[in-house]
Homo-oligomer: A and B are copies of this chain.
Amino acid sequence: MHLAVVLASGGLDSCVTLAMAKNQSKEIALLHASYGQRTEARELQAACAIADFYQISRRLFVPLNFLKEIGGSSLTDQERPLEEPPSPSPASPIRAGGQVPPTYVPFRNSIFLSVAVSWAEALGAREIFVGASQIDAPGYPDCRQEYFEAMGRLVEVGTRPETKIKIVTPLIDLSKAEIVKKGVELDAPLHLTWSCYQNQDLACGRCLSCRLRLEAFKEAGIKDPIPYAEEVKIS
């Protein structure tokens, strides 16, 4: 049974990715990184609950709090407003593709992936699973297929000659609704996941991340199992 490192933020996408890795009979090493983001403690709690659910004992928690010092993102800098989109409608989608959102954290995914590669090389793991979606996250430069290809090349030339690590992105071309459906199909513990950018007790239901999540569940025809601070209407 091959060992695979799974990047687990505690969110919906990485939970489904983990379920997909498990479904391929992988032995899992779970990596969670915190980086001084607003909902750091709540995300760690979610990642731990998901690791417990899957009885994963090989875990690495990585504090990267210098990313808060570096700043440049509304996720790590409390003075930058989180995007509060207007009520969405089919005619005006939440976010047009292409534009880099204010929640982009400079080169964050490369730091995460480099840590994952380091751990994978030391462990002898052959794969790294990442729950990125270029459909779900338009505008993030470090969520695109092209980006993961460049990272694959870096891993090839930047590790020992005998090290063979593949970066696997099973969600790369799935919409968030398809990710929800895939999670339900695999009995992933979606009730343990955390997506809200704003709150740490009850999900706000209003931030961009909550809205995208709620819309995805609606589109998938599935009730989101987590409670929200207020009843949110998705038109």
- Contact-residue bracket for chain A: 35 or more
CB proximity of A108 to chain B, nearest CB, Å = 7
Residue among B110, B118, B153, B160 making CB contact with A117, cutoff 8 Å: B110
Q: Using A66-B60, A72-B121, A114-B110 as known contacts, say yes or no to A147 and B141 having CB atoms under 8 A apart.
A: no
Complex formed: what's the CA distance from A158 to B132 in Å?
Answer: 13
- A142 contacts partner chain B, Cβ-Cβ < 8 Å: yes
Partner of A158 from the list B69, B71, B150, B160 (CB cut-off 8 Å) is B150
| A54 close to B (CB within 8 Å) | no
CB of A90 within 8 A of chain B?
no
Residue A62 interfacial (CB < 8 Å) = yes
Cβ-based interface call for A228 (8 A) = no
Looking at chain A's contact residues, the main secondary structure is helix
Which residue of B109, B142, B146, B154 is within 8 Å of A110 (Cβ)?
B154
**Is B158's CB under 8 angstroms from A110's CB?**
yes
Query: A60-B66, A66-B60, A141-B160 in contact; A118/B107 too (CB < 8 A)?
Result: yes
State whether the Cβ of A20 lies closer than 8 Å to any Cβ in chain B.
no
1/0 per position for A80-123, CB-CB distance to B under 8 A?
Answer: 00000000000000000000100011111111001101110110
Knowing A70-B118, A118-B107, A121-B106, the reply to whether A161 touches B147 (Cβ < 8 A) is no
Q: Please report the C-alpha to C-alpha distance between residue A179 and residue B161 in the assembled complex, in whole angstroms.
A: 28
Q: Is A182 an interface residue (CB 8 A)?
A: no
Bound Cα distance from A42 to B44, whole angstroms: 33
Partner of A141, one of B69, B106, B108, B158: B158
11 contacts between A and B (CB under 8 A): A60-B66, A63-B66, A70-B115, A71-B122, A106-B117, A106-B121, A107-B121, A114-B114, A150-B150, A151-B154, A153-B153
